[in-house]
Amino acid sequence: SQRTLVLLKPDTVRRGLVGEVLGRFEAKGLSIVAMDLRTIDGEQADQHYAEHVERDFYPPLRAFVTSGPLVALVLEGDEAVEVVRALNGATDGRKAAPGTIRGDLSLSNRENLVHGSDSPESASREIKIWFPDLP
Ligand code: ATP
């Protein structure tokens, strides 16, 4: 079994879709290992998105992820990293396949509802950032 770091970004909370999105992960069979509603500052955003801080799209992304509360989660299950990314769908909600979270619920490249770690290595790094005390 494997763990992955998932964020239900501020658009999910603002739009009242926490239950809908979390329900899809639960229905798939993933277990919730940690879960917290919190609002992050710019420094925490930079840490999480370390690989993107120099990109053109980063300043508006930073403003977005710090714009209100988000739900940080650690999910666990067989091949959780890949499974979550498949459920999330392509980055751009306009292009994501119907049936995926983004494909069904997002029409944006930035406000795309969810984040999921992109590899087991990223998952360990991100889980340490978000839940440093998780055993
Ligand atoms: P995530 O890492 O959040 O699961 P992802 O792996 O599909 O998403 P990345 O390429 O890692 O996408 O980009 C991280 C986040 O940055 C995206 O989820 C999206 O919110 C934002 N983003 C990525 N590319 C763009 C872009 N071209 N324009 C605006 N926002 C973008």
Tens digit of each residue's pLDDT (9 = 90 or more) over 20-45: 999 999 999 999 999 999 999 999 99
Q: Is 94 annotated as a binding residue?
A: no
Q: Taking the model in full, what pTM does it have?
A: 0.96
pLDDT value at residue 18: 98
Q: What is the CATH number of domain 2-130?
A: 3.30.70.141
* CA distances (Å), origin 97, targets 27, 42, 84, 91, 105: 19, 31, 14, 10, 11
Say which amino acid occupies 4: T
* pLDDT band with cut points at 50, 70 and 90 for residue 124: very high
Catalytically active residues are 115
122 three-state secondary structure: helix
User: What are 2's two structure tokens?
Assistant: 């494997």
C-beta of 57 in contact with ligand 1 (< 6 A): yes
Report helix angle 80-88 to 18-28, nearest 10.
Answer: 140
Query: Residue 116: CB within 6 Å of ligand 1?
Result: yes
Residues 6+ apart with CB under 8 A from 125: none
